[in-house]
Amino acid sequence: MTDLCGGGMEGLWSIAVVLLPVWFSVMIGFIMIPAMFGLSLGVTSVYIQILVKILEWATLRIERGHREQPTLSVPAPLPFGLIQREGGSMEQEMGELRRYRTQSISRGEFALSDSFYFYIKGLESIVDDQVTQRFSSEELVSWNLLTRTNHNFHYISLRLTIIWGLGVIIRYCVLFPLRITLAIIGLTWLVIGTTLVGFLSNKRLKNWLSELVHLMCYRICARGLSATIQYHNKENKPQKGGICVANHTSPIDIVILANDGCYAMVGQSHGGLMGVIQRSMVKSCPHVWFERSEMRDRNAVTSRLRAHVAAKTNLPILIFPEGTCINNTSVMMFKKGSFEIGGTIYPVAIKYDPRFGDAFWNSAKYNMVNYLLRMMTSWAIVVNVWYLPPMTRREGEDAAQFANRVKSAIAHQGGLLDMAWDGSLKRAKVKEAFKEQQQKMYSSMVMGKKGRNSQEPHTESTRRQ
């Protein structure tokens, strides 16, 4: 018995020895070399087209299944929320509630019905709130044949299940090994290439080679995710000495953006594998890595970034002002720190197509490795990147207002919801100051329009700063 096993093992080994070089040469020939020069064999676009056809068929099949068996069907997610919400301001709503009273509200005063406004608002937010849903993956209107997005879809038909099964096999057994190989090759080349370039002393040659190395690696990595990226308005691409800001959905954003240009990365210096990559990247061109202790000192951070930007020959910095990953349905508050550095801001909007894979990194649920594995077993990553025209701070505009202006522009271009809530609400509690704002608004209603406070009450859109 053991003899057979031994013989079998040897046989496998010899097969492997023959196959491995073949595998690698195929990799290099068909995928890596075109990737390095930014060319494409067109395989990915054909793949995407086939996928779209299959998903459309699946959608129709599921809808038919729901119509035939209405009791089985679970309702599809609603794009506009669960409930109807009154859009009026606090003053309007309370005014309507108080209509039963004979005195007018301009006299101030309190009415027993005032509390109803808060009750209803509170209950509405319990049933459906705008914020907490941004920290978990977007629910798809129709199933895209991935188990991970199968929240509400039951067994519909045999054919659908077979296609799903085939999909599993293809994704895990064909695509996944391919992608892992590419990712490893890409990262290894990044480390080796940048270290080699670091030895050069000729400035111009060094910069040119460094850009080449970085681009090559990011292109290989992008292939490693089957990423199809569509860049719009390339004339607005970030220039040297500028600051590029974008909405943040996942660590892959960096790969997506760096496929089309070179950026100076900003971030915390890590240990381990990340640390190795970071240290070698710095050898070939300046990136800005902060120690954890430095990050707490806002002034130190700002001055270092300012110094980098001031040197007009440095690559544009890439910053994600939201500070955390959001699920790509909305843009949350931009931290004003990035907008205090000065210089020109180049906004970029990134929108992933959720049908092909969920790019959002839910860091509470999945760690980085888990997340990358999920990425590599999705169908594909299809992204749209819009370069917006550069913006600078206007006269009389403070950093926070400037940040909001940029945020609105990005949200508008990317078709995302523009929200004033802070992304750090993912982990932290909301500040007391916002509750006090509500109380302040109500207080001025109770005191009436006359009195010390003659400010206009805030409208709904500004209250949630």
Partner 1 sequence: MGSRASSLLREEEIEEIKKETGFSHSQITRLYSRFTSLDKGENGTLGREDFQRIPELAINPLGDRIINAFFPEGEDQVNFRGFMRTLAHFRPIEDNEKNKDPTASEPLNSRINKLLFAFQLYDLDRDDKISRDELLQVLRMMVLRMMVGVNISDEQLGSIADRTIQEADQNGDNSISFNEFIKVLEKVDVEQKMSIRFLH
Residues in contact with partner 1 by the rule CB under 8 A:
74-75, 78, 80-84, 96-97, 99-100, 109-116, 118-133, 136, 139, 148, 150-152, 154, 421, 425, 429-430, 434-440, 442-444, 446-447, 451-453
Q: Least CB distance from residue 259 to partner 1, whole Å? A: 31
If the CB atoms of residues 111 and 391 are measured against partner 1, the closer one turns out to be 111
Q: What is the DSSP letter of 107?
A: G
Q: Least CB distance from residue 181 to partner 1, whole Å? A: 30
Pairing mode, strands 288-290 and 317-319:
unpaired
Q: Least CB distance from residue 460 to partner 1, whole Å? A: 12
Phi, psi of 120 (to 5 degrees): -65, -40
Q: Residues of 394-405 as b/e, b for ≥16 C-beta within 10 angstroms?
A: eeeeebeebbbb
If the CB atoms of residues 129 and 294 are measured against partner 1, the closer one turns out to be 129
Three-state DSSP class for residue 302: helix
In angstroms, the CA 64 to CA 157 distance is 10
Q: Least CB distance from residue 360 to partner 1, whole Å? A: 14
277 touches 190 (CB < 8 A)? yes
Residue type, 5: C
In angstroms, the CA 32 to CA 387 distance is 27
If the CB atoms of residues 26 and 430 are measured against partner 1, the closer one turns out to be 430
If the CB atoms of residues 68 and 460 are measured against partner 1, the closer one turns out to be 460
Q: Least CB distance from residue 431 to partner 1, whole Å? A: 9
Q: Least CB distance from residue 102 to partner 1, whole Å? A: 10
Three-state DSSP class for residue 91: helix
Residue 96 C-alpha from the chain's centroid? 41
232 touches 387 (CB < 8 A)? yes
Q: Which residue has the tokens 């955390």?
A: 324
If the CB atoms of residues 133 and 207 are measured against partner 1, the closer one turns out to be 133
Q: Least CB distance from residue 169 to partner 1, whole Å? A: 21
In angstroms, the CA 77 to CA 54 distance is 21
Q: Least CB distance from residue 465 to partner 1, whole Å? A: 12
Q: Phi-psi region for residue 323, left (φ > 0), alpha (ψ -120 to 50) or beta?
A: left
* Sheet strands (E) in 91-147: none
If the CB atoms of residues 97 and 254 are measured against partner 1, the closer one turns out to be 97
Q: Least CB distance from residue 18 to partner 1, whole Å? A: 43
If the CB atoms of residues 66 and 237 are measured against partner 1, the closer one turns out to be 66
Q: Least CB distance from residue 38 to partner 1, whole Å? A: 38
If the CB atoms of residues 53 and 148 are measured against partner 1, the closer one turns out to be 148
If the CB atoms of residues 156 and 349 are measured against partner 1, the closer one turns out to be 156
Q: Residues of 260-284 as b/e, b for ≥16 C-beta within 10 angstroms?
A: bbbbbbbbebeeeeeeebbebbbbb
Nearest to 178 by CA among 367, 47, 383, 31: 31
DSSP 142-192: S--S-GGG-SS-----HHHHHHHHHHHHIIIIIIHHHHHHHHHHHHHHHHH
Q: Least CB distance from residue 150 to partner 1, whole Å? A: 6
Residue 214 C-alpha from the chain's centroid? 22
Residues 48, 50, 55, 58: what is their CA dihedral angle, to the nearest 10 degrees? -170
If the CB atoms of residues 395 and 456 are measured against partner 1, the closer one turns out to be 456
If the CB atoms of residues 96 and 294 are measured against partner 1, the closer one turns out to be 96
Question: First CA to last CA across the chain, in angstroms?
Answer: 73
